[in-house]
Amino acid sequence: MPRIERQLAASRPWVFAILALGSAAITAGSLAYFDAGAAAPFVVEKLPLPHEQLWLLWLRVHVAAAAFALPACLVLASHTVLRRAPRVHRWLGRVAGAVMLLALAPSGFYLSLFAKGGLPSTLGFVLSGAIVVVATVEGVRAARAGRFADHRLWMLHVLAQLSVAVTSRAMLFAFDAADVNADVAYLVSLWLPVVASAVLVEMAAPRPRRRTQSTPAKGEGVDGFCPVSRDCATHLHPDLGGIHEAPPRHHQLVDAPAQLGDVARVAS
């Protein structure tokens, strides 16, 4: 395992804990958006708006979706949950995917039109949202096709972009303490985490290894696993033990007739 992968694996529990706490803090600070009588500073600084009630509706949708999506992705990235409760992983993944595609991303695209900082900020939010949408769709397709290593890589991109909400706010607090220009701080705190998160996943995530055996077609087996036995899950999913070079014994038996035929042809 490359050094950077080992370092990230060692820091994984701490990163997940920080993201979980950051998500909880953001959610707690966003509850004021649901109070009709409260004048939250974030809302006040946006006024006047051409369609204030519509904007507020999308803001609430975005806050609620984000409050669910990031913690859900942290649970989905848990090796323990995947090993001990694969059914929970599958159903939570389906719900999280629907929330991100139908609520989080659309609301984020709309809100980006009114982002502080103008067009550069809008483009930054759109880029992050686009990565989430593409990675979610491709991750679902990979899982349904049984390409679990590809699925894991795409989902790491989703988690990385969702983490921008936490890292961006942390950077804003640091820039404010350092008395950095507010407009510059906002743009840097947006673009740097978005781009760095995508690059970090591409650099540090284990690359999917293609199996020599064909992946079971859709409908063959259970949830993309081996049609013969669920024990084959450890040979298909990197988070369930990795993709081993040697196939399970029943695959060896299935391939035995072809191997014997090859031997007979050589002998003749």
DSSP state of 253: H
pLDDT digits (tens, 9 = 90+) for 213-228: 444 444 443 343 333 3
Reported as a pLDDT band with limits 50, 70 and 90, residue 46 is: confident
Identify whether the C-beta of residue 238 lies closer than 8 Å to the C-beta of residue 149: yes
Q: Is the separation of the CB atoms in 251 and 229 below 8 Å? A: no
Contacts of the segment 128-131: beta carbons below 8 A, 24+ positions apart: 128/161, 128/164, 128/194, 129/105, 131/157, 131/158, 131/161, 131/194, 131/198
Q: Decide: 23 and 70 in contact? Cβ < 8 Å.
A: yes
Cα(158)–Cα(135) distance, rounded to whole angstroms? Answer: 6
Using CA atoms, how far apart are residues 253 and 1, in angstroms rounded to an integer? 32
pLDDT tens-digit map of 102-135: 999 999 999 999 998 899 999 999 999 999 999 9
